[in-house]
């Protein structure tokens, strides 16, 4: 029998056994079905430094075995519409979408700043995944709030911009291609009619919106807000709700907050994702194929 067919039947058998074990475990857990939540962000498909092949292997090897009660959370910037034509990027990644569609698990897409226009498409519920800005899930009676993280950046760095103004700006940036996006200050004027006087120190901060997180020196402010006890005031979190976000390309994990990292070649730490099971969070790395 060809090796490809052998691998196919082995995977199908593994998925079936995996589902059976979960059902048995639920009987011994007061009827609660054990679920697994996987969270991944910032793949930036369409960007030349995206680890696209690694991400496809991740979907095939790690996500294909997920069961009907499991969740895959795509935490934003999976696609990158800031650098190139949106339709071209989508067509180039048809295989990614087909693979996502083939998964048995629930798939959620949380928009990021680089793929924010997806929220405006109003996809039917049967189309690949549900698209939203935030997501709340529970695991082992522990609530989790999932956001991309641009909200934290808007709050911590880009004042006087509001989150809503930042989102409007993201739509404009997704629609501008060619010589990247030009002067960000002119985009601000075109989109929000915001302007800054000459010498205003905020100009430098605002221009940083288009810079890669790896080159930014102010992203620690995002992490600082995410780790703080006052984050709930700005994000509307409940008292015991854990926060999961991406955006900064700086993966970390603590008791009640985690950052999922990124899948781009210019990041110091690459191909990280979060696993949530039995009320525990674990930051994992998908190893590159040689």
- Closest to 281 (Cα-Cα) out of 105, 151, 150, 140: 140
In the prediction, which pLDDT does 25 show?
46
Pairing, β 280-285 against β 272-277: antiparallel
Q: What is the pLDDT of residues 193-245, one digit of tens each?
A: 555 566 665 666 667 777 788 888 889 999 999 999 999 999 999 889 999 99
Q: What is the pLDDT of residues 6-50, one digit of tens each?
A: 444 455 454 545 555 454 444 445 555 689 999 999 999 999 999
- Tell me: pLDDT of 138 over 60: yes
Q: What is the pLDDT of residues 58-98, one digit of tens each?
A: 999 999 999 999 999 999 999 999 888 889 999 999 999 99
- Closest to 60 (Cα-Cα) out of 19, 8, 18, 107: 8
Q: Contact, 15 vs 64, CB < 8 A?
A: yes
Tokens read off for 121: 């498409």
Tokens read off for 52: 């696209």
CATH class as words, domain 35-290: alpha beta
Domain ranges, ordered by start, for the chain: 1-31, 35-290
Contacts of 134 (CB under 8 A, 6+ apart): 110, 145, 146, 147
Q: Contact, 148 vs 41, CB < 8 A?
A: yes
pTM of the full structure: 0.83
């Amino acid at each position: 029998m060809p090796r490809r067919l052998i691998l196919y039947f082995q995977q199908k058998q593994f998925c079936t056994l995996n589902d059976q074990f979960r059902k048995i475990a639920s009987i011994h857990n007061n009827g609660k079905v054990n679920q697994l939540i996987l969270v991944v962000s910032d793949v930036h498909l369409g960007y030349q430094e995206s680890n696209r092949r690694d991400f496809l292997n991740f979907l095939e090897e790690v996500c294909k075995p997920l069961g009907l009660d499991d969740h895959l959370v795509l935490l934003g910037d999976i696609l990158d519409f800031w650098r190139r034509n949106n339709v071209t990027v989508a067509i180039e990644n048809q295989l990614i979408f087909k693979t996502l569609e083939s998964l048995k698990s629930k798939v959620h897409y949380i928009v990021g700043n680089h793929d924010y226009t997806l929220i405006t498409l109003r996809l039917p519920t049967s189309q690949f995944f549900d698209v939203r800005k935030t997501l709340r899930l529970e695991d082992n009676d522990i609530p989790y709030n999932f956001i991309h993280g641009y909200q934290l950046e808007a709050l911590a760095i880009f004042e006087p911009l509001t989150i809503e103004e930042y989102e409007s700006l993201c739509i404009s940036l997704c629609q501008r291609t060619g010589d990247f996006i030009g002067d960000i200050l002119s985009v601000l004027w075109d989109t929000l009619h915001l302007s800054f006087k000459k010498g205003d120190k905020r100009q430098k901060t605002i221009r940083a919106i288009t810079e890669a997180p790896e080159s930014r020196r102010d992203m620690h402010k995002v992490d600082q807000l995410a780790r703080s006890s006052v984050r709930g005031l700005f994000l509307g979190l409940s008292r015991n709700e854990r926060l999961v976000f991406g955006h900064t390309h700086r993966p970390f994990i603590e008791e009640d907050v985690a950052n999922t990292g990124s899948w781009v070649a210019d990041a110091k730490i690459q191909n990280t994702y979060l696993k949530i099971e039995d009320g525990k969070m674990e930051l994992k790395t998908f190893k590159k194929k040689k």
